[in-house]
Structure 1
């Protein structure tokens, strides 16, 4: 009597081995899937332009009249980078709601049982946020050129790239929040709104922090968005290689690293 020999088997489909997938390939597949609805119906991207243009059209002139002397120089070079950062923050912080729709419809569960790796599913979703951010920011810059905005070209390009990196991190954190509160969808909006506005106001986005109380300036030093906003203003003014811009990149990269790390772990643990 001979002992049975066990040999490792390879998963097959219709008698053929399944192709080995790589992380980059999986990420690209998810990215294309997420971008398809945006390309077919770009209304959400166009609608996202309403808020920044309203701020520029209504709040900008008020800022020039009331704080122009405090800001010094060109008010648009101070305010437009802040509006671009605000667009990034608002647009990416709500992306978890898209995942909530997938959770409630069962799409997320079906995605989990596909051969696509779970980290790639999270990273692909987060990278998708770069496209509408860059498109909206480019339109805002073009609209403001006739009104006297004259940013440093290299500084403007680097600022858009920096905001895209920041958007990946914020988007990943938004997806993580959606997974964490999947049983209580309303909690997503409670946390998102509770965090969003303090982060925005403590970045000096709308008014200079230099005129604020000492405690507000102290708290703002731990706000990554403040460094990104300051970086955009310096880059637009032509100080591309300044320490301010360098700290902005550090803040954006750290936010992206933290967001992706936390998000990937949440996606790996996801069961439904």
Structure 2
């Protein structure tokens, strides 16, 4: 079989798996819809309950500071659904059945990745529309806005492979539940909600180097929203880091996911 034929076969199998995952969401839309609207609840909580007590670096409206950060946070929240879906399929034996079928070995993980990306596009669109309805001011122009969306989806694409890998190596859904607890510290230890300069020095340094902070800061600049400046190298090069961090995660976890899937049951 030629390389082109093999690629076409893998692509067709991946799309079949994608349609399978999407059909599950159509039959059971509750968790998917909840995943879209949970970040909105977070915006209302932090923007409405705590926003008046939080100062924005350099002045400006806290809501305009918060919304771009929540876009990045939404990309992180999707990690949990990816991990749970992969682990559930493995625990039910679905993954083993796929591996026994005459299909491309990469189709299962690629199909899951495509489905989760489609889900994330819808979730991000819901967040953007919600922000605009609540009074978020987005500047910077159309090109900057498209670049910001691209950086957000790049982060989500990278986190999909982190989620797939963790889901494949986890022993069961209960292990994933334990891992999910770590998502919150990663999210809060960033510049999403506050300026890292307000944290103790060592903690602020960790927050500045958080991949979530790089994307949040880059998106704020592209949307011409208030943000924290920062004197460190990583703060001054947030847009560059918003590209490098996801590429590094992809380079590490995509091959790990593919290799782990091939070795399942071996």
Verify same fold: TM over 0.5: yes
Residues 39 and 216 (structure 1), Cα distance of their counterparts in 2 relative to 1, 3 Å cut: same
Partners in 2 of 1:266 and 1:26 — Cα distance?
A: 19
Contact 1:234/1:244 (CA < 8 Å) preserved in 2? no
Partners in 2 of 1:181 and 1:90 — Cα distance?
A: 18
Which of 132, 145, 151 is the aligned partner of 1:145? 132
Q: Deviations over 1:125-170 (max 9, x none)?
A: 1222111211122122212223321213433333333222222222
Structure 2 unmatched runs, 5+: 227-235
Q: TM-score, normalised by structure 2?
A: 0.83
Contact 1:94/1:192 (CA < 8 Å) preserved in 2? no
1:271 lines up with 2:265 in the alignment:
yes
Partners in 1 of 2:179 and 2:44 — Cα distance?
A: 30
RMSD of Structure 2 on Structure 1 (CA):
2.6
Residues 98 and 71 (structure 1), Cα distance of their counterparts in 2 relative to 1, 3 Å cut: farther
Contact 1:126/1:169 (CA < 8 Å) preserved in 2? no
Q: Who wins on radius of gyration, i.e. which is larger?
A: 1
Which of 143, 146, 162 is the aligned partner of 2:151? 162
Q: Deviations over 1:2-42 (max 9, x none)?
A: xxxxxxxx9xxxxxxxx855333332222222222224543
Q: Which has the higher contact order (CA 8 A, sep 6+)?
A: 2
Q: TM-score, normalised by structure 1?
A: 0.81
1:126 lines up with 2:120 in the alignment:
no
SS in structure 1 opposite 2:194? coil
Give the total of aligned pairs: 251
Partners in 2 of 1:69 and 1:161 — Cα distance?
A: 25
